Amino acid sequence: MFGNLFEEEEEEGFTSASSRGRVAKVGDEPPPTRGRSNLCGIKNQGGTCYLNSLLQTLLFTPEFREELFSLGPEELGCLEDKEKPGAKVRVIPLELQRLFASLLLVDQQSASTASLTDSFGWNSSEGTNQHDVQELNRILFSALEHSLVDTSGSTFIHRLYHGTIVNSIVCKECGNVSQRQEDFLDLTVCVCGMSSLEDALWSMFVEEELFEGNNLYRCAQCDRLVTAAKSAKLRKLPPFMTMSLLRFSFDFAKCERYKETGRYSFPLTINLQPFCEQTDGEDSDYSYELFSVIIHKGGCYGGHYHAYIRDIDQLGQWEPPEEECKPKTQKKVKEEVKKEVCEPKVQEDDPLSVLTAIIAQEPSKSVLLDQLGQKLMDKIGSSWSKKFRKHYGPIGKFLQSHNNVFMLVSNGTRVALKANPPSPVTEPPGPAEQTTNSDPSTPSEPEAAEQHPEPEQEQGSHWFDLNDSTVTSIRESDIEKQFQGKESAYMLFYRKTQLHRPSEALNNPQYEVPLHLIQMAQEENIKLQKMREEFEATNNTVELRLHLAPSYRLENGALQPISKEQNGSTTLSFDRRKTVGDLRLAIYQMQELWEGDMALTVAKSLPAGLHLYNTFTDDSVSLYSAGIHTNSDLFVWNGREVCGATVLTGAEWEPVLLTVVRPFLGEDGEPEVEDGVECEEGSGGFENGGPGLKKEARGFAGAVTLGEVREALGEPKESLLCQEHKGGKRGEQGAGEGGGASGWRLFPPADMQRTLKELSLKDGDALLVLEPQSFDSSMFTLNGDVVTVTTPSDCRWLQVEFQPPGGGGEEGEKDEERRRIKVPATGNMPLCEVKQRAIEELRLQEQPPGAQYCLRQVDCTGKLLPPVCEELSVRDAGVRLMTTLTLCPGNAPKASQLFLHFSVGTAPSAGMEMDILVERTCTVKECLKAMLDAVGLDGTCWHLRRLDWCEEVGEPLMDEDASLSELKISNGETLIVTEGQLPPKGFLKLSVWLHLDPRNNSMDFNHTDNGLTEEQMLEVVTAGETHSHSPPLCAGNMAELRSAGQVEISDEATLEDLKTQVLTLPALQDVCVPTTAFMRVWQLEGRRLARILRGQQLTLRKLKVTSGTDICVQQLLKEEDLGPKEVLLNVKMGVPGERCYYPPEELVWDASRDSSPRSLRACLAAHYGLSPDSLLLAKHQPDKHAWEEISNWSQQVSKKKKKKRAESLLGAPFHLKDGDTIGIKNLLIDNNRDFVTVEDEQGQQRLREQAEQRRKGGQAAGSDGVGQQKKTGPTKSRKPEVALSINVGVFR
């Protein structure tokens, strides 16, 4: 039943938000029009598919529909008066009339049943509960009968649906007949042990049940127990016969319910004469024809309903199902024959024969090395490792050992045959050739010739599948597919063949519909049409940013505004349905003084500056086809140069902004250093101080070589270039913790000829420039290809200051000097050794014996932080070298203990709180008792609360049996002992995590000394990335999460309220955001970013946020308000010729109007400034370490009935969602169509090894009998079943 729960609202599009490329307001998108069937579906409220199926069946029962429409306002009242006191308004039939009129006459894809279910008295949760459609059928008819009391329609349900059964018992002794008559609304027929509907009816109404032996019948006439026979017959047949199939049974052996899925046939027409009491009538009196089948898909505890219905009045437009419309050609047969003729027979056991055949059959007579293994598997069905590696070794060595047959071409990236080397004639076809006839609207001539005319509609073929919002045509023969299986018939609706429809009712949806309902539908259609026109006009207006060439100059490989006060851009609103020529003319009119040619080029603002991509050459192309959207940047120039400088365009010349680092020896003062590199405030110029490093931001074209960068920097050829080394281990010197030196990797001479793109250098990367004589200084040391930079920040010491009890008073300078000492220290030195040296140098052994001391850090305000654990080293305790520690009286905590502050009653004043050491594993109750014992209090009317960021009493610790570590209570936290019992539950408790992106090192969430454990620090991956180690190009997509605590908030609060409250957490008190729109909230599932919470004003209940949910907060650099069908994707472009990718980027894709691959491809083309036809896309599947290619437009052909849904990337098989990774190949410069990287292959190998281990482990467990535990383990908990009811007023 919940099959379409998450797709329904998205399909309708009623709540689409404004998005990239449009100016429409939230909720302004009108509902879509009816589909090709011209019939209207019904929206699923979450679990109301059973209601939708029954309502559609009643709608397509013309006699029921017309009886309902015959009741006017004078009998039913008016819905406008239902709130008036004393007014008798029969709400249920009135709402049913409106719904039927809307389904018949309003031009929309699906109608809502919200008003109807409100009239039932159902609340919002009732719409998500699953119920039985047979139960609803009886309850709904009963509610209608009660609602229509004392009206002309009070008996119409009885006339149409009620029949009579007579049960007879015949005494075998005296022949006395005892009869009892009963009324029925539907017949419940047995499925278990039966093969067809006729068999079940024969068992019910023909076969007799004998009372004999121990089961005798007491005859009233004989007045004793006698042998008797019991039978049942149909006495009165209704015009409409409803059959309910008893598919759900109970297994008394297993004590559980199950569904009968065996074959159970039923006829399209049935004669009930053999089952009737009176059989002397005409055959037509007993003949019925099937017109509706309600189908259940799923098991006995849940599933989904839909209906196959015959359109008796032919109101819809029936056409053959899609798979039957396709021309039946012999194309596949021809291809197979051609393949057999062209391909010579290959000896599959001979690798030389197989590889030679593979390369010879390629059009280019060569194969990419990284694709050879896949082509081998496609050829023989087995990989090289499995079939040949044992005897012939790796495939690379095999090729080298047969160098008389094979040769490497294209710089060693491709392999070819020496006997038939590749030539320019046999090069692979270009993208233009590959995309010929790619437009599905213009098929090639042979395909057009093979098209067959649409077959004529056959008699009785007006059958449709009404599946909630979707309506599709089916054939009568498709009903046979519902005889058996998990998706099978559940209720059958038959009508008498005597019931004929008048000719004026055919193809006339207004037939017998009251005039006021027709007018209501016409007004609704006018309103919808107006909404669609306004939306279409608004949706096609885009805001363009025009950058004029006279306002720019070329600098550092990118275009920079000449004047810093003016950004050089002009905003223009334009209709994207117009052509590029129209836009050019409009710009000419704006720029009256423009002289000469005008070229329009797609531009993009990058960190290095403005960069140009493709130039529009065809003035007849519309802006929509050209991929122009709102906020697109267009550069207006002459197409050749800017201010006399030639501008290089295209993605390959995309500039990279590098940080150039040089040695600097200052004269006075000490530079501000961090991890050995001087931090600078700004992007330009130098920051000079003492001895250290100076930095400068410079931009370079991505296609220039490293040698050309060295020349542009004015450095001699002897200069050395280094890249910051990020691969060091945690324990190595150079990790940068505790003042360690920084490591740099030296570029080898061969890299001087490689481009910045090939070297994977990206914006913000640091480039160290050294002269050979720099190694004469102690500041630089060379070890192999690693340069270690040691600045004055690497001086290894800690300052220890002694604070006597009471804080000390005024003392002389000598005493001050004696109370501050420097202790030599390293990152690996234990803190207990630091303390012991400090005690010896401070001469504290003379203090009273047994005195205990501990080391404490001091924050920027001078406040003492919790004591550090002396069992840890300086680095592991998070203590940075060259900082000050305070030696205070007191005990130091062990690694298993927490140092907590606490106060009784109110928030403590500064320095007035009490301290306590407790075990991390102790419960809240034990911690509370220890605190009460420490202050001499007793009693049970106390509970603990946290201190919030305002230093006020905050949320209570609700779970008293939970340990402090489970509640993520950290070192130095302040707890308040509060009098009174724990507050009642009723609020949501949400765990909050901070999203720390390593790509943005400047974002700091105040995490110094927060005492977080490893459980509180997670390294997670977005939904599109794997947990495996990625290459430098892909490593940027890792996301680090840090716990920020918990919030307690009402489920009626909005998402904006949640963001506001999250900002009050202590861990976020230093985070500054202008508005809550600069924050993104993720919902975590299994330590994975699952979905983004959308809608600032939506309540947490509507967002389905429950207590205990983990949420993740991510700070953004710009405002974000995602719509329901805007998808946040991680996109990454493949490096040409290599099996890796450039760093990923976030991209918001608007799928509200079009969720097809064509829309995504156009969005990506606009983002990268490329042609859509040149892009090849694939979705990454991190769990399988595989890529699923997204087909081209012409290849997106659905094999299912629902073509529209099959083309949507939001549905099967891709199910795109927030955080998914999309890989992109630019076929113009990259012939490698394989998306799999080396890391993916390693991950696949690990999965195979794990599966093999599980298989072996399962066999061992099965032999020990452990496998039985799996079967008898705990079952999944189910929601409690709720009785279905409909509330009806009193109208007697």
- Residues annotated as catalytic are 49, 304
> Residue 677 in contact with residue 661, Cβ under 8 Å?
yes
Q: Is 1157 helix (H, G, I), strand (E, B) or coil?
A: helix
Among 1172, 1230, 1161, 1169, CA closest to 614 = 1169
Among 242, 868, 200, CA closest to 496 = 242
Helices (H), 813-923: 813-818, 831-841
> Residue 1224 in contact with residue 1161, Cβ under 8 Å?
no
In 707-765, the DSSP E strands lie at 720-724, 742-746
Other C-beta atoms closer than 10 Å to the C-beta of 942 total: 18
> Residue 464 in contact with residue 318, Cβ under 8 Å?
yes
Among 767, 684, 678, 763, CA closest to 719 = 767
E strand or H helix at 1261, and its extent? helix 1238-1263
- Strand arrangement, sheet containing 655-664: 692-701, 655-664, 766-770, 720-724, 742-746, 786-789, 780-783
Q: Look at strands 897-904 and 974-979 and give their pairing.
A: parallel
What are the percentages of helix, strand and coil residues in the chain, rounded to 5? 25, 30, 45
What phi and psi, each to the nearest 5 degrees, are found at residue 477?
Answer: -70, -20
Q: Which residues of 987-1024 are buried (b: 16+ CB within 10 A; e: fewer)?
A: bbbbbbbbbbeeeeeeeebeeebbbbeeebebebbbbb
The DSSP code sequence of 897-937 is EEEEEEEESSPPPTT--EEEEEETTSBHHHHHHHHHHHHT-
Cis bond before residue 1074 (omega within 30° of 0): no
> Helix 133-147 vs helix 91-105: angle between axes, to the nearest 10 degrees?
120
Q: Is 703 helix (H, G, I), strand (E, B) or coil?
A: coil
Bridge partner residues of 1226 (DSSP): 1175
Q: Look at strands 655-664 and 766-770 and give their pairing.
A: parallel
Q: What is the dihedral of CA 1253, 1258, 1263, 1264, to 10 degrees?
A: 100
Residue type at 700 in one-letter notation: F
Q: CA-to-CA distance for 672 and 613, rounded, in angstroms?
A: 40
Q: CA-to-CA distance for 93 and 156, rounded, in angstroms?
A: 13
Residue type at 977 in one-letter notation: V
Q: Look at strands 884-889 and 720-724 and give their pairing.
A: unpaired
Which positions ≥6 away from 89 have C-beta within 8 Å? 76, 77, 78, 79, 81, 82
> Residue 304 in contact with residue 470, Cβ under 8 Å?
no
> Residue 40 in contact with residue 102, Cβ under 8 Å?
yes
The DSSP code sequence of 429-498 is PPHHHHTTT--TTS--HHHHHHPPPPPPPPTT--EEEEETTEEEEE-GGGGGGGSSSSEEEEEEEEEETT
Among 138, 18, 40, 1269, CA closest to 629 = 18
Q: Which one-letter DSSP state was computed for residue 1178?
A: E
